[in-house]
Structure 1
Amino acid sequence: MSTSNTPTETEMLAANAAGVTRAASILTEGGLIAMPTETVYGLAADARNDHAVARIFEAKGRPRFNPLIVHVADAATAQRYVAWSDLADRLAQAFWPGALTLVLPLRPGSRLSPLVTADLPTLAVRVPAHPLAHELLTQFDGPLAAPSANPSGKISPTTAAHVAAGLAGRIEGILDGGACPVGVESTIVGLFEEPVLLRPGGLPQEALEHCLGAPLKVHQSGDPLIAPGQMTSHYAPGASVRLNASDVGPEELLLGFGTVDCALNLSAAGDLTEAAANLFHHLHALDAKVPKGIAVSPIPEIGLGRAINDRLRRAAAPR
């Protein structure tokens, strides 16, 4: 496997048994694999291997204080690493496998690399729904630390081509599972004294509140960083991003929503599920045209609109 700052040939692995077997072998040897999930592509490494996890941070240019999500094959495996609870069991039964990450107290003796948790006493864990991710986790038979497979702070990848554009030469392989159907990262819920929405994502807040039978407390931007995806500037294209645009500047391209004349439309029908699936793909496509700025139509702050607006606000934040 590659050592720090050493270029490596990145293999493109097919979505078949041979590709999964090769990906599992690379992970066992301490290498890095970009794997598809239903949300975005994740950059996976053995969560128990300090050197492999350190290489995630190096490949992405990610700050070491930003914790990682650990992906596991099922809820029973998650319980090896975190202190489980009745509430965790209720949410896992309702939404796993799926676009939900739970933050729970780290179980003593977990043997995970401390880099995964950024030395916090909690762990972010989820069970992805993508069949290739599940096959890889099952064959690897261990926990995989896997943030989004892109340079830190840049647009998240929803295709293998997006991963290759940002990380080719820095990682050993990309397991090509096609386009990610959800298109935004998982929703993160902290299970502390009371449940807290730490990051909106591919599972709508309303679905969680219906399951819990109560409103969720929401993490505020000024609160300490205790989960992935909470940095103020994140998911950013090279161009500047202007939100809630009702007009377009002379050097801007419009990312539309609903019935609007635009360069690309997240959903002409105003469908938030379609818009979430298109968000990062369309940002990549517009950014490749090298505009001075990307203007974005208003997006409703409901359902998946919360996750879309969260990503757009971070993309538009000062860098």
Structure 2
Amino acid sequence: MQSLQTLALGTAPTDIEKAAQILSDGGLVAFPTETVYGLGGDARNDLAVARIFDAKGRPRFNPLIIHLPTLGAARQFAQFTDTAERLAAAFWPGPLTLVLPLKQGHGLSPLVTADLSTVAIRVPAHRVAQAVLTAFGGPVAAPSANLSGKISPTSAAHVAAGLTGRIDAIVDGGDCAVGLESTIIGLDGAPTLLRAGGVPAEAIEACLGHTLQRGGDGPKPNAPGQLASHYAPGAKVRLNASGKEKGEVLLGFGPCEGADLNLSPAGDLVEAAANLFGHLHRLDALNADTIAVSPIPETGLGRAINDRLRRAAAPRPCP
């Protein structure tokens, strides 16, 4: 692909307007959300959306999430059921994505939905994301701002390391607070957990008053983040490690002797989620053969952390 000059933007009003103008012109802008940095393009522009897939090296069958500043704006593109309205009222703005039937006349590029009859929508809470989306005034398709399958970015430096020369601009809004991608709930049938993420499934089930069905393991993704090998560092990943072996570095959790980095010495899953991708980036830079990871509880945000780690440890597809 053609090499681009990637602009470094801040969060001043003039920078936000510049980012919005680049999006309006069909360009690609990385910007922070509370979860991870997203790589944004106009979701109505076929060429802009195609450039997202090209910049990331992302397979075209993997759908994208569109980002909007308000629930009202989201209603223009999807059919909202009573259940969708209840979840949006409870968790938007925030790290929750809803997969909903497309509304007639939506105007989105078919590349966004991978030709499915549904669309994934999120209203992010991050003030910079909100500013960019409001200034742009339309739907922004924005997967994580990294090369496909690699560790997700939680800082502008992570984005720059992977996508400089491939995108038009990066808005530096500091580190992401949540540090895990959004939870994805499918609502084109019974409410279904398609991807664990920044909102624990328990909180969603408490809001709905019943348990969620589990999905997302079919042969073709119906939402982002479902590929078996994903979020992967260059090193191999060994899970549920009681310590490190020769040639390994150790990513600890809770009280853990000999950890090279610790997600949360206190065993706090919120802190661990916020640190996960940043710590993986730092350990991967040490060029060890393997990153060993201490056991993580399979509760609350631990489910989302373990989901990312299992995909990071999965066998890599042949290049």
TM above 0.5, yes or no, is: yes
**Which residue does the alignment assign to 2:44?**
48
The one-letter code of the counterpart of 1:299 is I
1:23 lines up with 2:19 in the alignment: yes
The one-letter code of the counterpart of 2:125 is A
Name the CA distance, whole Å, in 2 between partners of 1:268 and 1:197: 29
1:140 lines up with 2:136 in the alignment: yes
1:298 lines up with 2:298 in the alignment: no
The one-letter code of the counterpart of 2:271 is E
What's the TM-score once normalised by structure 1's chain length?
A: 0.98
Any idea what the Cα deviations from partners look like across 1:85-123, whole Å, max 9, x if unmatched?
A: 111110000000000000000112111000000000000
User: Closer, same or farther in 2 for the Cα pair 1:151/1:161, shift >3 Å?
Assistant: same
Any idea what the Cα deviations from partners look like across 1:124-167, whole Å, max 9, x if unmatched?
A: 00000000100111110000000000000000000000000000
Give runs of aligned pairs for residues 269-288 of structure 1, distance below 5 A: 269-288=266-285
Count, aligned residues: 315
**Of the candidates 201, 204, 210, which is equivalent to residue 205 of structure 1?**
201
2:216/2:226 contact within 8 Å kept: no
Give runs of aligned pairs for residues 32-181 of structure 1, distance below 5 A: 32-181=28-177
Give the superposition deviation at 1:247. 2.2
Any idea what the Cα deviations from partners look like across 1:53-89, whole Å, max 9, x if unmatched?
A: 0000000000000000000011111111001111111
Secondary structure of the residue aligned to 2:185 is: strand
Name the CA distance, whole Å, in 1 between partners of 2:145 and 2:233: 15
Q: Runs of 4 or more off by more than 4 Å in structure 1?
A: none
Name the CA distance, whole Å, in 2 between partners of 1:8 and 1:250: 41
Name the CA distance, whole Å, in 1 between partners of 2:143 and 2:91: 20
**RMSD in angstroms over aligned alpha carbons?**
0.8
**Which residue does the alignment assign to 1:235?**
231
Name the CA distance, whole Å, in 1 between partners of 2:28 and 2:218: 33
* Unaligned ranges ≥5, structure 2: none
Secondary structure of the residue aligned to 1:7 is: coil
Name the CA distance, whole Å, in 2 between partners of 1:12 and 1:307: 31
**Which residue does the alignment assign to 1:259?**
255
**Which residue does the alignment assign to 2:306?**
309
2:37/2:153 contact within 8 Å kept: yes
The one-letter code of the counterpart of 1:89 is E
Secondary structure of the residue aligned to 1:313 is: helix
* Unaligned ranges ≥5, structure 1: none
Percent identity of equivalent pairs: 64
Name the CA distance, whole Å, in 2 between partners of 1:196 and 1:60: 28
**Of the candidates 222, 240, 249, which is equivalent to residue 245 of structure 2?**
249
